[in-house]
Amino acid sequence: MRKTVRFRDCDWVLLALALAIAAVGIVELYSTTAQTALAGQLKRQVSWVLLGLFISVALSRVDYHLVLEQVPWLYGLTVLGLGALLLFGRPIAGTKRWVAVGGLTFQVSEIAKLVIILTVAAYFAERQGKYVTWKDFVKLGTLVGLPAVLVALEPDLGSALTFFPIVAAGFFLAGVRARHLAVLALLGALMLPVGWHFLKPYQRERLTSYVHPSKDIQGSSYQGIQSRIAIGSGGFWGKGIRNGTQSRLGFVPVSHADFIFAAFAEEQGFVGTLLVLLLYLALLLRLLDGAQTAGDRAGAFLLVGFAAVLFFQVAVNIGMMIGFFPITGIPLPLMSQGGSSALFTFLGLGLAMSVNLRRFVN
Amino acid sequence: MPRSRQRILSGQLTRAGWGQAPAVLKRMEFRFPEDERLATWKIAFLQYVIAATFLVLLIGYWRLQIGQHRQYLEQAERNRIRNLPVIAPRGQILDREGRVLADNFPAFSVLLMRESPAALTPPRVQSIARGLQLDPADLQRLVERTAKLPRFQPVVLKQSATMEDIAFVESHRVEYPDLDLLQVQQRSYPKRAIAAAVLGYVGEVSEEMIATPSSPYRPGDVVGKSGLERSYNSVLAGRDGMRRVIVNSRGQEMGSMTTINATPGNDLRLTLDLDLQMAAEAGLGEQPGAVVALNPGTGEVLAMVSHPAFDPNDFARRIDREAWDRLNSDPQKPLMNKAIQAHLAPGSVFKVITGTAALETGTIKPNYTVSCPGAVTIYGHTYHDWVWEKGKGHGSVDFHRALVVSCDVYFYTLGKLLGIEKIAYFAKRLGLGSRTGVDLPAEDPGLIPSPEWVRRAFKRQWWAGETISVAIGQGAVAVTPLQLAYAIGGIASGGLFRRPHLVFKDQLLALGVEPEQETSREFPLREETVDAVSKGMWGAVNEGGTGARAHDPSLDIAGKTGTAQVVSDELQKSARKAEYKNNAWFVGYAPSAKPEIVVSVLVMQGEHSTTAVPIARDVIKAYFQKKALRRPPANQLQTQVREMSQVLGTTPSEAGPAPQDR
């Protein structure tokens, strides 16, 4: 029965969309880093994408059920790892986000993200019934809340926030009642001041500068203002490759990583923006189509969870460039330079293709 | 089979529950082929949510990239383009033979760029002040004062940046991207204090100058503050250029776009002769006072010294408050150009004026004789001659003798005969009591008292006795050393008064600068008058008179001494303070018949005129020695060639001392 999987059923369109976005990212990476101290990042990113490509195709051969069966110990290991990172990790740039493995540094929260997707999928695959109950909220809330708090303590609020859409999409799909939403909204509103209390000063600053952009012009809203100048100055056709003054002259911060889309929009203009947004849209819709046709609940939850976190990251990253959201350290999947992020995305794509391959199994 | 296994396993899982520790590893499998299908509308709903979000994002980007493109493009350009002034070097100041008196050397200024939207908060200003070793309060004031200026105008925070300042700016590009360095041309005066009073100094343009309407100045601009630097600022100052450069976010230059070159200022050649200047500086030495050498035939100032002097190089950097206070509070007023600003009684030098007036009006003839017992009583008051203390008089003196021995009684008598109106009239016509019009700022006009003046100034009548004091250059009469040189030179030249000047008129015309209107003034004197006065002054030097120390057989010097009291006799005797000491004057010229050079010397607190006399002699001597060198015999070229071949042909031991370290 399981042998009905055929390689040509693999979702090549999904992979092609992802590769197209990654290619755009690599070109932009070249454009912003060429002849700078960061020029070496280009080679590394190409290697990561190629490695990711290989991993995703390889993972698609593995039955996702087999992966889901590993959830309990994967989860345990992740929580332990995050805890150990907090206790023993060496801070890099003031935060304990990375773990060094043989000369390479990994962002543990990217792996945790994948484990959360698997955990949520495993939980709801098990769960029967038309609607979720309060017990589910408590259980899953605790399961996801623990690693989220650990990541937030690193501190990496942005990554911690990416867990939220996974859980939210899971509950939505499993079935929530209106009263659930109402109570949760009330609770959330009550928790806001408490949450503010726990924010680090720089995180508060980012939020205040989001609300009042003119307050601190050299500080945190500077990044937002400079990225908006970059994007706006790009115009319709853009300034062309390697001609983005804002990104090449360092006005746009980390234009190769979190802010790569600002650099891209500056050089490729509205036309480029439109193209990349369409690519992302196609990728996300394709993932959700897969969820519609998935062979079982587990596959559907897996795809929705992955799509939810991708969508969240894309929307927040691209939105924060133009001031729709406060500036947070959320990378743009597939475009921002960074091994951990690329690895996570391609692992997720591998799982998604694994689900797609097995849609006719039963 | 697998189905049943799966059921069992999942049952186990349910029993074990998620509430237990996740470390409890359980084998699970997830197969729910007959699950209730998930509602397809939910996933479709998610797809719509995603599409809608992307639409909103796209609209957001449209607004920025299409709607506000122009405005953001402008901001991006402003970010990367920095307008830097290119400072024009000031023109050099040269002496009449082209020797450099004022020059420039490259230095750095620390600029505050104000185009970026960075707000200079007080803590930032303080740390910048610490880094540049400036007073934080001063810097804060500067920042506040310049806040209203257009943003493209940078502000100079510090001139003559030290190596430490440059290092501070370069190493804090990230923290303070709005600091930059600008290469400037800093003024230098290679001869230091030599001719300092004439040259003046430069400094940062004052607030008031910037505030005046249509002022071309920006804060930090360097302008002439005194002396020639000030009076010829428009000639010396160039026009700054502008450089548009591309900078990165840290303010580092990445490339250059357009450059408007700076127009350097014009060089200024002075009438001053450095050799005479040096002779005058050396002659006056440490004594406070002034020396002025003029060519009365042209009005060219050949030398002008005021001591004590200052080093104008101190002002080229931003002078520190302490040094400034010290210069300003010095009782000897080093910043004052005493040659044109000393407002002092001329003493007996004024007898030349009184004498000229008496002869010219026909009040006396040169053979008019007065018997001098050492004192004379006029209007019921006894006036003493300067020899009175020696217990004798000058005896019977005529006009010539009176000038030679500087007989006070003779000129008291002339004063009484003339009356104040005539003395004042002639004094003014002969160049006193008003500015000579020299091309230097802040010249003192001096003062020639008259009944009209006391009425205006003191609301009282003129006292007849005052006339007697005025006749010998005491009382309220006040002159400057330049005025005396101008007046005596004019009288010796038969009444031709050339406006003293330091810059050649032709040069100004060539530069398109309109020179001063009045260049010369004539007040023709009768030949007999000029003859008698000149001979008297010649006698003062060459017939064992008061100016005998100026006598030099090789020179034809004439001149008149003056010892001017600054306080009354009684006070001078009771308190022998330095500032109560007499001022010594001497005005000499040569040749006596047709003067080419007139030198006026003032030695403040010089006690007696004899201290001033040799200084003038030295300057005149230097002038004629140089003239003799300049006009060698007709076979000059041959002589030179012969001399050179001699030097070249001689062995080293003959040419000079042999090298010691062989």
pLDDT digits (tens, 9 = 90+) for B220-244: 788 899 999 999 998 999 888 888 8
Closest residue on chain B to A253 (Cα): B249
B648: confidence class by pLDDT, cuts 50, 70, 90: low
Token readout for B633 is 């015999």
Q: Does pLDDT of A1 surpass 50?
A: no
Token readout for B29 is 């499998």
Any A CB within 8 A of B79 CB: yes
Of B38, B60, B79, the CB nearest to A173: B38
CA distance B189 to chain A (A): 42
Q: Does pLDDT of B15 surpass 50?
A: no
Q: Does pLDDT of B58 surpass 90?
A: yes
Write out pLDDT tens, residues B299-321.
999 999 999 999 998 887 666 77
- Most A CBs within 10 Å, among B6, B12, B31, B50, to test the A interface: B50
pLDDT, average across residues A251-266:
88
Write out pLDDT tens, residues B186-215.
899 999 899 999 999 998 888 777 777 777
Any B CB within 8 A of A310 CB: no
B81-269 falls under which CATH superfamily? Penicillin-binding protein 2a (Domain 2) (3.90.1310.10)
A294, with CB counted inside 10 A (0-12, 13-18, 19+), is buried
Question: Rounded to an integer, what distance in angstroms lies between the CA atom of residue B43 and that of residue A306?
Answer: 13
Of A39, A226, A73, A219, the C-alpha closest to B64 is: A226
CA distance A87 to chain B (A): 19
Question: Rounded to an integer, what distance in angstroms lies between the CA atom of residue A151 and that of residue A327?
Answer: 18
Any A CB within 8 A of B29 CB: yes
Any B CB within 8 A of A150 CB: no
Residues of A in contact with B43 (CB under 8 A): 173, 288, 291-292, 300, 304
Question: Rounded to an integer, what distance in angstroms lies between the CA atom of residue B266 and that of residue B232?
Answer: 10
In degrees and rounded to multiples of 5, residue B56 shows phi and psi of -65, -45
pLDDT of residue B7: 40
CB contact under 8 A, B68 and A232: yes
- Most B CBs within 10 Å, among A139, A249, A278, A289, to test the B interface: A249
Task: Count CB neighbours of B396 within 10 A.
Answer: 11
Q: Does pLDDT of B21 surpass 60?
A: no
CB contact under 8 A, B18 and A139: yes
Closest residue on chain B to A140 (Cα): B18
Residues of A in contact with B69 (CB under 8 A): 232-236
CA distance B133 to chain A (A): 24
Q: List all residues 6 or more positions away from B86 whose beta carbon is below 8 Å from its beta carbon.
A: B240, B241, B242, B243, B259, B260, B261, B262
CA distance B214 to chain A (A): 34
pLDDT of residue B91: 93
CA distance B32 to chain A (A): 6
Closest residue on chain A to B31 (Cα): A296
For chain A, the average pLDDT equals 87
The angle at the Cα of A136, spanning A135 to A140, to the nearest 5 degrees, equals 120
B544: confidence class by pLDDT, cuts 50, 70, 90: confident
Residues of A in contact with B10 (CB under 8 A): 126
Of A296, A311, A349, the C-alpha closest to A122 is: A296
CA distance A69 to chain B (A): 5
Q: Does pLDDT of A4 surpass 60?
A: no
pLDDT of residue B642: 54
B644, with CB counted inside 10 A (0-12, 13-18, 19+), is exposed
A143, with CB counted inside 10 A (0-12, 13-18, 19+), is buried
B5: confidence class by pLDDT, cuts 50, 70, 90: very low
Q: Does pLDDT of A245 surpass 80?
A: yes
CA distance B25 to chain A (A): 6
Write out pLDDT tens, residues A52-89.
999 999 999 899 999 999 999 999 999 999 999 888 88
B588 - beta bridge partners?
B559, B599
Owner of token pair 């206070």: B325
Say whether the peptide bond before residue B33 is cis (omega within 30 degrees of 0): no
**Residue A87 host element (H or E):** helix A71-88
Q: Does pLDDT of B660 surpass 70?
A: no
pLDDT, average across residues B337-351:
94
Long-range CB contact pairs, B325-331, < 8 A, 24+: B331/B579
Write out pLDDT tens, residues B561-619.
999 888 766 666 666 666 778 899 999 999 998 999 999 999 999 888 889 999 999 99
pLDDT of residue B638: 53
Q: What is the pTM of this model?
A: 0.70
Domain boundaries, given as residue ranges, for chain B = 81-269, 274-630
Q: Does pLDDT of A33 surpass 70?
A: yes
pLDDT, average across residues B118-144:
82
Q: Are strands B520-522 and B222-224 parallel, antiparallel or unpaired?
A: unpaired
Q: Does pLDDT of A39 surpass 90?
A: no
B303 - beta bridge partners?
B293
Any B CB within 8 A of A87 CB: no
Question: Rounded to an integer, what distance in angstroms lies between the CA atom of residue B375 and that of residue B383?
Answer: 5
**Weakest mean pLDDT among A86-100, A169-183, B49-63, B399-413:** A86-100
Question: Rounded to an integer, what distance in angstroms lies between the CA atom of residue A197 and that of residue A216?
Answer: 21
Residues of A in contact with B39 (CB under 8 A): 175
B658: confidence class by pLDDT, cuts 50, 70, 90: very low
Token readout for B538 is 């010649």
C-alpha distances out from residue B276 to B304, B554, B613, Å: 9, 18, 16
pLDDT, average across residues A162-182:
91
3-class DSSP state for residue B178?
Answer: coil
Write out pLDDT tens, residues A274-284.
999 999 999 99
pLDDT of residue B107: 87
CB proximity under 8 Å: A 3-62 to B:
none
Question: Rounded to an integer, what distance in angstroms lies between the CA atom of residue B540 and that of residue B530?
Answer: 15
CB contact under 8 A, A235 and B75: no
Q: List all residues 6 or more positions away from A174 whose beta carbon is below 8 Å from its beta carbon.
A: A124, A127, A131, A132, A136, A301
* B539 vs B315, residue with greater confidence: B539
Closest residue on chain B to A124 (Cα): B30
Write out pLDDT tens, residues A134-152.
889 999 999 999 999 999 8
Give this complex's ipTM.
0.93
Task: Count CB neighbours of B34 within 10 A.
Answer: 9
**Weakest mean pLDDT among A321-330, B7-16, B122-131, B546-555:** B7-16
Helices vs strands, H then E, count in chain B: 27, 21
CB contact under 8 A, B28 and A122: yes
> What is the DSSP annotation of B111-129?
EE---S-----HHHHHHHH
pLDDT of residue B16: 38
**Weakest mean pLDDT among B16-30, B61-75, B246-260:** B16-30
> What is the DSSP annotation of B618-634?
HHHHHHHHHHHHHS--T
pLDDT of residue B159: 79
CB contact under 8 A, A251 and B80: yes
Closest residue on chain A to B62 (Cα): A270
For chain B, the average pLDDT equals 84
Residues of A in contact with B118 (CB under 8 A): 217-218
Domain B274-630: give its CATH architecture: 3-Layer(aba) Sandwich (3.40)
Question: Rounded to an integer, what distance in angstroms lies between the CA atom of residue B131 and that of residue B110?
Answer: 11
CB contact under 8 A, A322 and B64: yes
CB contact under 8 A, B66 and A235: yes
Question: In the β-sheet with B81-86, what is the strand arrangement from edge to edge?
Answer: B81-86, B241-247, B253-260
**Burial profile B615-629: b = 16 or more Cβ within 10 angstroms, e = fewer:** bbbbbbbbbbeeeee
* A46 vs B125, residue with greater confidence: A46
CB proximity under 8 Å: B 93-152 to A:
117-119
**Weakest mean pLDDT among A60-69, A177-186, A318-327, B153-162:** B153-162
Question: Rounded to an integer, what distance in angstroms lies between the CA atom of residue A358 and that of residue B640?
Answer: 112
CB-CB contact of B599 with B485 (8 Å) = yes
Write out pLDDT tens, residues A185-220.
898 888 888 877 777 777 777 777 666 655 444 455
A326: confidence class by pLDDT, cuts 50, 70, 90: confident
Say whether the peptide bond before residue B219 is cis (omega within 30 degrees of 0): no
Closest residue on chain B to A309 (Cα): B50
CB contact under 8 A, A229 and B79: yes
C-alpha distances out from residue A44 to A217, A340, B363, Å: 34, 12, 110
* B603 vs B148, residue with greater confidence: B603
**Burial profile B294-303: b = 16 or more Cβ within 10 angstroms, e = fewer:** bbbebbbbbb
